[in-house]
Structure 1
Amino acid sequence: MFRHPGSTRIHWGACDSFGSSDSSLSCGFLDVPLDYHNPFAGTARLAVIKASATGPRRGSLFVNYGGPGESGVQDMIQYEDDLLALSGGVYDVISWDPRGVGNLTTPGEIYCFDSAEEHDAFFKGTIELTGIDETGNFTDPSQISALLAQAPTMQKKYTAVGQKCLHAASGKFLRYVGTAAAVRDIVSIADVVDGPNAPINFIGYSYGTLIGSWFINMFPERVGRVILDGVLDPVVFATHDWSVDWDDQLVSADTVYKGMITGCALAGPSGCPAASEGDGPLDIDAKFQALIQAAHDAAQVNSSIPLTAGQLHSLLRIQMYFPEGWNDFMNETYPELVATVKGESPPSGSKSLGKRILGATARSGLFKRVQSDAPSYTPHAIVCGDTIDDFDITMADVFHRLVAGTQNVSHMFGAAWPIIHPCPLWPARAVERYTGPFTKKLANKVLIASNTYDPITSLRNAQALAGLLGNDAALLRLNGFGHQTLSAPSACVDQVMLEYLVNGTLPANNTVCEVNSDFELFQGVNTADILAHLPGSDI
């Protein structure tokens, strides 16, 4: 394997240019090959950040919070104390801005449009901006026909966008961002900070679990202590086209929604404005369905309404990631949604609500938050660049599968519009993609973690990965809602992860932890209360 001669050391210094004056953090750069298999492709430069161990140092611990496209630099600045506590302070905790992220790493952020205005003008009048207008479980023939009628337009739009991306300033780097490159970059950093034969310790969340599952199988001999939390199934990703198989990720999404409306019903009118006296979860659901229907009906009269049914679905979907926000959402945002759909909200309020929708969308697992006015296409470059070569798939195929997924997998969120749907039309694939096997014998055992009800990376993904690894993995489950175990506090999970990272002690396989009882999702309502009152499959 080609090793770039510049990959010898990181000159650690202050993080002022990285956006932090925290003297406990150190920052620097590392040059790595742009293509690890081609010495003539050039050099990439990684922005790296470190929080030094607070106790006797046992090595380094690498962390990736997912995205794809999440800034590891900003995450470290924000979560330094949590990460040091989680790891017992015995590691230098290290993160980095992966390729395609921000303006510190090179290649940096992938842009295809010069501004949000250019992007919005290009997609004006399409589902890219309005979301997919559907109600119920997408069985209305007129709604299905309306979606399928957009397929030729969206086929042309996404093909044109792909070409814009390819010919933009960052287009020459599209082949060099991706998961395999991220894995090899971690190894390059580890070689510099700990030595070329040292075990590599890693925590990956959400998309970071895909980096992690590729790492432990590409470099099984380098596996140290590894935690993968909120798991994407690497076999499904390697063998299926997510543009038509995305609904596999949503098997628990509607149950998380049931959790939110159940908590609202338990809180009652004093704790949740959507609840009337005596309401149960089905009554709260009926109000949401009526709200979505009202937005749909309004759009039939006026295409310029401030809030569409598709946007409502998207905003609701994002709430499923973060149960800690359910109380604020139902008490503050829900009344504003109702007023907006009824036409009672003033224009300034509607504009503010629109920004909140975009902000909430940007916080979800497969969307990107950026500082630039222009939308980032880094997530597309990574996910689509890594996906299989199935170029015969059309947008009509994608739409048909999306309808089926809404009807059969997730009534509430099957028609949400994640970044992967245009992947068959993406113009580039990564120079290296790992497709297995995912059953390598590992140098050390790893910990796989999941919530019981995760809206986007289901428990069965974690079970599948743990099954592939056999005796080399233990599965830990947090009995709660939300995306990753980070979504709710659990002293049990914290202790299990601490024991593993510090002492190498794995829990028994299929260990179940509970959410802390004092963590209230609504006033006087905790996770155990909601789990005890979840309705059946009638929503």
Structure 2
Amino acid sequence: MPPTSTVTAAGENRPTKQNSLKKIIIISTVVLIVIFILANFRSHYQQRTSLTSIALNPGEIHWKECVPAVENVECGRIIVPKDYFDAEAGTASVALARYKAKKFPRKGSVFLNPGPGSRLPITTGSALAKVIGEDWDLIGFDPRGIGSTMPPTRCFSSQISNTVLFANTVVEQGITVSSISDLSSPLLYDQLVEQHRQFLAVKEAHAHLCGEMMGNELKYMGTATVVRDIDFMSRVIEGEDEKINYWGISYGSILGAYLVNMLPHRIGYAVIDGIVNPVSWSNEPSHKWPINWISDAEKTYQIFLQDCSKAGPSSCPLCEYKDESWQNLERRFEEFFDAIALNPIPVPFGNRPGVLTSGGARGLLAKSLQRPLKWPKVAKSFSSAMAGNGTELYNAIVRPLPLADLDSPEPHISPRLAVTCLDSPRPTAPDEFPTAKDLTEQGLKALREVSPHFGLSTGVSEPDGGCQYWPVDGPERFTGPWNSTLETKMLIISNTADPITPKSSGLLVNSLMPDSSVIIIQDGPGHCSIFLPSLCTAKLQRGYFAGEIPKNGTVCPVDLATFPDEESDKHIQMLSTEDRELLKALRDLEAMF
């Protein structure tokens, strides 16, 4: 509970002169940034969209050689209705790439999506074919407003304008928890409220920019519209009577859950991996999502610390000797976070001059838990920061000042909000908007009840929130039900220690569709099965796309160590040639994501 204090009629703590001055500075800075960006952007965006909104007919598809050319891959675009409920709205152009089947008879197409998916066939087509099957065409695509799909999400005149708004704010650097040692501290509460006030001010400015620059173009970025696109694309590419086949990870699991429940009669094979809770996603405001997402984060963190300890300082310099107590490492991390909460580390020669904050460093550690094969590098970067050199960590958080490249996709914050703010419910009246105090109390609840280390640290990797300010609603928002009956059971994959999409979410989807899904549990840490490869999981997926449904609840071990040593190398050498080739494909897949 917050500390007892004198309150005004509005229910807020009566501000001191210092707090009032801080608030004025924040608001004034945001207003100046907004004025600067508005003055430079509107004419450019209108000119750019007028050049790309050529009148084309829905269903037109154009394949061509990729640039640069990639063996066995063709790139293309398909014209789709912008609004499936209003033919007068015009068209959109979805970016595609297709890795062509190498074995015949060809079975059809599998649509791929982890978010921006058109690069997948280009960078990982041959590796994915080892998992899905070489008798399928693999089609990656960019969802509405993302990547190279047109119209793009554009809220800024240039990349530098984007950087200016978020630079050195809590949106970029994360929320700093001054110390987790006393979560009932009145000082901590006040610090968190002040940071969340800044967060809300930046989010409001961002939403205003997006609305001013894009207007109604923002209406068509929601997941329900992307499901309609997949259905439309499948009918054009494969034919009216052919089933939709799908493979998706992370956000792609949300898209997959929507797809099979909105259009169950159209579904053939469907695999979703790294499961986001679709019930929460579609029925709760986005600031409440993280408390579900991080329910396995502490488990993953403990594995990281224990594996580091077993590896010893030669592979993991965070420990002082081999088999040191992992609690010692945990303590040193907290001492480091507490120290830089008081004295951030100056970084004069990073991607741009700045400081490494405690919120940024803790948020980066939370994000790093998602990719176990990168843990040795993560350990070295944190070891350097603990010794006073925060450049590597800082550069992993902060983007360099970009050139004004108007044709490159906008960084992920704007496109992500364009999706999440249409998918989640939004309060309609200002008196229902979540306040800085609401966000603080939600964050403290996550710290106390779910993850004491990372309850307020998802923002660095998952920049959600502020949807109460979003200027538009979409033509369709799907909220369930999530219990459709499928002709072929969907395959769900969850890890036992996924720090951002917990096993419980996979089990939830499985329980909602008990007769239309099976789940594989991969026994290991990391986000999605691909980030710590398992031959068992890969073979079950390949068998699934060949028509073999695995037993519900099958548990698969992982085949690579987080901190490799001689023993783990021996395990790999003992594998068959076929298994080593598959494991290499899985490692290539992990490296390219």
Query: Normalising by structure 2, what TM-score?
Result: 0.79
Partner of 2:266: 222
Is residue 514 of structure 1 aligned with residue 557 of structure 2?
yes
SS in 2 for 1:377: helix
SS of the equivalent of 1:227 reads strand
- Deviation of the 1:382 alpha carbon: 0.4
> Aligned partners of 1:275, 1:151: CA distance in 2, in Å?
35
1:111 paired with 2:160, answer no
Name 1:336's counterpart in structure 2.
384
Gaps of 5+ in 2: 1-54, 348-352, 401-406, 572-593
1:245: Cα distance to partner?
3.6
Q: 1 CA distance for matches of 2:154 and 2:367?
A: 24
Q: Counterparts in 2 of 1:121-160, with a 5 A limit?
A: 121-123=164-166, 126-134=169-177, 135-136=179-180, 138-160=183-205
Note if contact 2:114-2:248 (Cα within 8 Å) is conserved in structure 1.
Answer: yes
Instruction: Tell me the equivalent position of 2:417.
Output: 380
Change (3 A) 1:147 1:300: farther
Q: How does 1:308-347 map to 2 (within 5 A)?
A: 308-330=357-379, 332-340=380-388, 345=389
| Residue 404 (str. 1) matches residue 445 (str. 2) | yes
- On the 8 A contact 1:520/1:526 being kept in 2, the answer is no
Please state how far the C-alpha of 1:131 moved relative to its aligned partner.
2.0
2-structure distance, mates of 1:301, 1:206: 34
Question: Contact (CA 8 Å) 2:264, 2:485: kept in 1 or not?
Answer: yes
Look up the match of 1:208.
252
What is the CA distance between 1:421 and its match in structure 2? 2.0
State the AA in 2 paired with 1:208.
G
How far apart are 1:210 and its partner, in Å?
Answer: 0.8
Cα distance 1:339–1:371, how it changes in 2: closer, same or farther (>3 A)?
Answer: farther
Q: Which residue of 1 aligns with 2:70?
A: 22
**Is the Cα–Cα contact under 8 Å of residues 384 and 423 in structure 1 kept in the other structure?**
yes
The structural deviation recorded for 1:115 is 4.1
Residues 296, 92 of structure 1: alpha-carbon distance in 2 compared, 3 angstrom cutoff:
same
1:99-134 per-position Cα deviation (integer Å, ceiling 9, x unaligned): 1122x32112x2323345444544566422332121
Q: Which moved more, 1:134-143 or 1:414-423?
A: 134-143
Residues 255-270 of structure 1: pairs in structure 2 closer than 5 A = 255-270=299-314
346, 355, 374: which is aligned to 2:395? Answer: 355
The offset of 1:93, in angstroms, is 0.6
Deviations 1:501-530 (A, max 9, x none): 01x1111110000001x5443435869x9x
Q: Classify the secondary structure of the residue corresponding to 2:329.
A: helix
CA displacement 1:469-523 (0-9 Å, x = unmatched): 1111111010000000111111111111111001x1111110000001x544343
- 2:311–2:563 Cα contact (<8 Å) kept: no
The gaps in structure 1 that reach 5 residues or longer are 361-369, 530-539
- TM-score normalized by structure 1? 0.86
2:451 matches 1:420: no
Structure 1 segments of 4 or more deviating over 6 A? none
Between structure 1 and structure 2, the one with the greater Rg is 2
Percent of aligned pairs with the same amino acid = 28
- Whole-Å separation in 2 of the counterparts to 1:253 and 1:261: 12
Alpha-carbon separation, structure 2, partners of 1:484 and 1:151? 30
Residue 193, structure 1, aligned to residue 201, structure 2? no
Distance across 1 between alignment mates of 2:341 and 2:201? 26
Secondary structure of the corresponding residue to residue 412 of structure 1: coil
Displacement of 1:300 in angstroms is 11
Report Cα offsets for 1:172-223 as digits up to 9, x if no partner: 3111111011111111111011111211110010110111111111111111
Aligned-residue CA RMSD (Å): 2.7
| Mapped partners of 1:424, 1:438: distance in 2 | 25
Contact 2:97 2:119 in 1 (8 A): no
Contact 2:218-2:472 at 8 Å conserved across structures: yes
Equivalent residue for 1:75?
A: 120
Q: Deviations over 1:258-307 (max 9, x none)?
A: 111110111122321111235211011011111111111214999x9721
1:480–1:307: structure 2 CA closer, same or farther, 3 Å change rule?
same
Call closer, same or farther: CA 1:36–1:507 in 2, change over 3 Å.
same
Within 1, Cα distance between the matches of 2:231 and 2:410?
33
Tell me if 1:247 matches 2:291. yes
Counterpart amino acid of residue 190 in structure 2? S
Equivalent in the alignment of 2:9: none
Q: Which of 321, 332, 350 in structure 2 is aligned with 1:287? A: 332
Change (3 A) 1:310 1:150: closer
Number of aligned residue pairs = 495
**Higher RCO (C-alpha 8 Å, min separation 6):** 1
State yes or no: 1:481 paired with 2:522.
Answer: no
More displaced, 257-266 or 116-125? Answer: 116-125
More off after superposition, 154-163 vs 34-43: 154-163
